[in-house]
Amino acid sequence: MENHHQFGQLTLVAPLSESQRDILSDDAMAFVEQLVSRFASRVPELLAAREVRQQSIDAGQLPDFLPGTRDIREGNWTIQNIPSDLQDRRVEITGPVDRKMVINALNANVKVFMADFEDSFAPAWSAVIDGQRNLRDAVKRTISYTHPDTGKVYELKEDPAVLICRVRGLHLPEKHLFWNGQPIPGALLDFGLYFFHNHKQLLENGSGPYFYVPKLQAYQEAAWWSDVFSFAEDQAGLARGTIKATVLIETLPAVFEMNEILFSLKEHIVGLNCGRWDYIFSYIKTLRNHPDRILPDRQVVTMEKPFLNAYSRLLVRTCHRRGAFAMGGMAAFIPSKDAERNAWVLDKIQTDKALEANNGHDGTWVAHPGLADTARDVFDKCLGARSNQLDVTRDSDAPITAAELLAPCDGERTEDGMRHNIRVAVQYIEAWISGNGCVPIYGMMEDAATAEISRASIWQWMKHGKSLSNGQIVTKALFEQLLDEEMQVLEQEIGTERFSKGQFQEAAAMMARLTTSDELVTFLTLPGYEYLE
């Protein structure tokens, strides 16, 4: 075991165990190095362009459709094609890449499993490599898991769900691999290893190398991904468009560039997805300097709100016009053992999914296998004999304007809401810095987006001196008082032993730094990553 290992010009600054060498083979790493040498240097330029745009929004310029790409929006073009095993995506389950989760998700009553290296995953080095091995074994259909305590054996059933891999966003580095003295983009490692190890077997299985691409903010970023995909296809001798991607529209800038993103990726793209939790976070983050665009308690920011409903309808209309799928968002609820609570959960799922299906979405997301049947039932009824809703064009809708997409959202800011935000964010951050990115909290399966909304909301209320419904002004002093009080509540809820053994003080300190900083920190996972081995 040594702490430096060379793969060509790539330097690994982590121990390389024997068990990792099958994933970090010389050939696999040579492919990653090719990707990095060609594409890594463009990532800082793309991230810098985000900052330039944000500065103009901070200065008062509201986001809008781009005048220079009107031809793309008005042109009559479509995406290349959608493979047969992606034609029906009525329910997708998402979750991190640990071994038992991968098996259970692929066995669930769903069409697709999105295996996640991003928002429901904390990218500790060993977890990244184990995740790649778990997916490779799943693709080979050799994956199994024996529970160490119960001895229960988990194995793949016949006809598992279609596998799609979600890679890290462009903002996240991989701090264990360096090229030219800089950490490489995590996205290129995730993509490179998954593609290299699995593309042949996936195609033999009648599927293909499919990806979810998160956090895009501009069509130039989509064009970068298209170049990455095309290069990988050429290296592997595959036809153009073998790699397929679904792009999450989960940032406010991206909603104005959906046509351009589809166009930039048109050989490789099969659809867009309403990543609505991150989208709410992005709405706060993007409009942080605009006191007239401040969101209420996150519990009341539902898809019925005009700005979110406009986003859903515009995504459906844009995608279907281009022959691409319009995927719905996440139901983060978890089934409850309490019959009354569970009936309430299922009713919530039913309402939420019916809204999506009636808007014309082709499918939706769940976070737990126990909710798959309820979501599927809604889409089964809506789809009838169809596999998707590409025929729902929404052409008769009035055009959706920038004003609708940016519309202020009504609802109260409450002390209860603020306290709940603090408790959820601290618990999520504690789990994440301890290596777990997918956390059940108060009956919801939370990922990073929830904690991001929670801390960004309070930051924005504080910045603009907003008052709560009880008349209290949100100040740094009020936040610090509530944080202290809610830490005591948390200790009572989870017990002193768990509280003292965990990293709750570190999480609270990080929450305080994020919430009271002069500038809004772009992603909590960046400072959080420093805690991970």
* Radius of gyration of the chain measured on its C-alpha atoms: 22
Contact 309, 294 (CB under 8 A): no
Is 166 among the catalytic positions? yes
Residue 146's DSSP bridge partners are 153
* 363-366 and 325-331 strand pairing: parallel
Q: What is the largest CA-CA distance in the chain?
A: 65
**Looking at 116, 297, 362, 447, which residue is catalytic?**
447
Identity of residue 316: V
d(CA 229, CA 233): 6
DSSP 333: B
Q: How many CA atoms lie within 13 A of 223 on its CB side?
A: 10
> Exposed, middle or buried: residue 466 (CB in 10 Å: 0-12, 13-18, 19+)?
middle
- What phi and psi values does residue 115 have, to the nearest 5 degrees? -85, 125
**Looking at 166, 288, 376, 455, which residue is catalytic?**
166
d(CA 395, CA 491): 54
Contact 511, 483 (CB under 8 A): yes
Contact 220, 265 (CB under 8 A): no
d(CA 155, CA 158): 10
323: left (phi over 0), alpha (psi -120 to 50) or beta: left
- The structure tokens listed for 404 are 């609708």
Q: Which residues are catalytic, by number?
A: 166, 447
